[in-house]
Amino acid sequence: MPSLGVNIDHVATLRQVRYRETPDNPNAEPDPVAAALVAEMAGAVGITAHLREDRRHIQDRDIFLLREKISTKLNLEIGVSEDILRIALQIRPEDVCLVPENRREVTTEGGLDCVAQHKTLRSAICRLHDVGARVSLFIDAEEGQIQAAGSLGADFIEIHTGSYANKFGAERASELEKLRRGAALALSLGLRVNAGHGLNYENTKPILSLPGLEELNIGHSIISRSLTVGLENAVREMVHLIATG
C-alpha cells in the first residue's frame, strides 16, 4: 500500500507573506516545523520540503530544524544548484528529490529533463549517494526521460502527476494510462516509483493503481483542507483515503 509524505512548503508560504522581511521575528507564524510534527502524528510517513534558490517559502533554518525535530524521514526537494546541493550534503536527509526550478513559476511546472542534464544529474546523484541519501528524480512519464533516469543510477522516480490532475473525463483517463505505463517501465529498469503534484481528495484514488507505487507526496491540497478541518484531520483523511483506495 502506498504511503503519504506531506509537503509543508505552503505553511511556510503563508508565513513569508507577513514575515519575509523579518525572518527572526519571534511572532513569525505559522511554523512549518510545528506543522510537520502534526503531520507525523496524523500518520504521514515523511515530510517533504522544497528549499528553493530564491527562498520564497522554506528557509535554511527550517531545513535544519526539520532534520533535528522530525522522527519519520525528511524528503528534501532541491534544484541542481551548487549552493543548495551543499546544504543537502550537510543535512544528509534520508531522501532527496531533484526537481526543475524556474524562478518565474508559482510551483514546479514539469519534470526534469534527464536527457539534457545527464552529466549534471549524474554528478549530483553520486555526491548524494556518498552521504547516504536516496535520490529521486521528478520527471514526466515520458519513455525517454524514464530510460535516462534509469541510466543515471537514481533510486526512485517521482512521476509528475500535474497534467493528470488538470485533466477531466476521457483526457484524464488517457493521462492515467500514460502514468501507469511510465511506472511499469520504471519498475522494469529497477527504479522505485513515487508520485505527486496536483493531487487532492478527489483525484488521488485512481493514482493508487500505478504499478509499484510506494509513496505519494501531497502538500497544497492538505494545507488547504486544514483551513476548515484542522491539519491533523486533513492528514488523517488523506492517509485513510490512500489506505482504503
Q: What positions carry a catalytic annotation?
A: 50, 77, 197
**Count of other CB atoms within 10 angstroms of residue 123:** 12
Question: How far apart are alpha carbons 4 and 18 in whole angstroms?
Answer: 29
Question: How far apart are alpha carbons 20 and 140 in whole angstroms?
Answer: 32
Does the bond joining 26 to the residue before it have cis omega, within 30 degrees of 0?
A: no
Residue 153: all three cell numbers together: 543510477
Instruction: For residue 10, give every residue at least 6 positions away whose Cβ sits within 8 Å of its Cβ, in sequence order, or none.
Output: 57, 219, 220, 223, 224
Task: Specify whether the CB–CB gap between 237 and 21 falls below 8 A.
Answer: no
Classify burial at 92, counting beta carbons within 10 Å of its beta carbon; exposed 0-12, middle 13-18, buried 19 or more.
middle
Q: In 147-180, which positions are buried (b, 16+ CB within 10 angstroms) versus exposed (e)?
A: ebbbebebbbbbbbbbbbbeeeeeebeebbebbb
